[in-house]
């Protein structure tokens, strides 16, 4: 019994470590690409989607709503379709869709959201972006 518990705890620990390593890799890839491509001096949301993605249309509605109906109108929204921009998505470290990447006005990656995020989460992240 103790052996099985040890194996289970070790397996969970390894999975958590792999998830953390993936996030570090993704953040480094995104920051490298942001540094190379960010010539604008404004906060940005980089958004990757696909026509085949069932959650992407909902995420796009949320993004447009937050940008258009709030104090975040100065944040640039850049949309990319994975069908047309697969190489760019690879450079940013995108592995899931939808993916949103929040960049500060100096080109620093502040947040990477893999999957659908709510309007309230996005608003919170954008407020953090404006204060940093």
pLDDT tens per residue, range 65-117: 998 877 877 888 999 999 999 999 999 999 999 999 999 988 899 999 999 99
2-131 fold: Glutaredoxin (3.40.30)
Nearest alpha-carbon partner for 38 in 89, 92, 106: 106
Task: Give residue for tokens 């940013």.
Answer: 92
Rounded-to-integer distance, Cα 106 and Cα 35, Å = 9
Report domain extents, the chain.
2-131
How far is residue 90 from each of residues 24, 59, 115, 130, measured CA to CA in Å? 15, 20, 16, 27
Measured from the Cβ of residue 35, the count of other Cβ atoms closer than 10 Å reads 12
Please report the pLDDT score of residue 38 as a whole number.
59
Binned at pLDDT 50, 70 and 90, residue 130 comes out as confident
DSSP letter assigned to residue 116: -
- The Cα–Cα gap between 101 and 106 comes to 14
């Amino acid at each position: 019994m103790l052996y099985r518990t040890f194996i289970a705890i070790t397996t969970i620990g390894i999975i958590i470590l792999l998830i953390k390593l993936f996030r570090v890799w993704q953040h480094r890839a995104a920051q490298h690409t942001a540094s190379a491509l960010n010539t604008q001096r404004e906060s940005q949301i980089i958004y990757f989607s696909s026509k085949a993605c069932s959650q992407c249309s909902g995420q796009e509605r949320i993004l447009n709503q937050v940008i258009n109906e709030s104090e975040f109108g100065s944040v640039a929204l850049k949309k990319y379709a994975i069908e047309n921009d697969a190489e760019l998505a690879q450079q940013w470290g995108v592995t899931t869709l939808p993916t949103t990447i929040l960049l500060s006005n100096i080109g620093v990656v502040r947040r990477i959201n893999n999957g659908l995020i709510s309007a309230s989460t996005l608003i919170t992240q954008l407020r953090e972006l404006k204060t940093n």
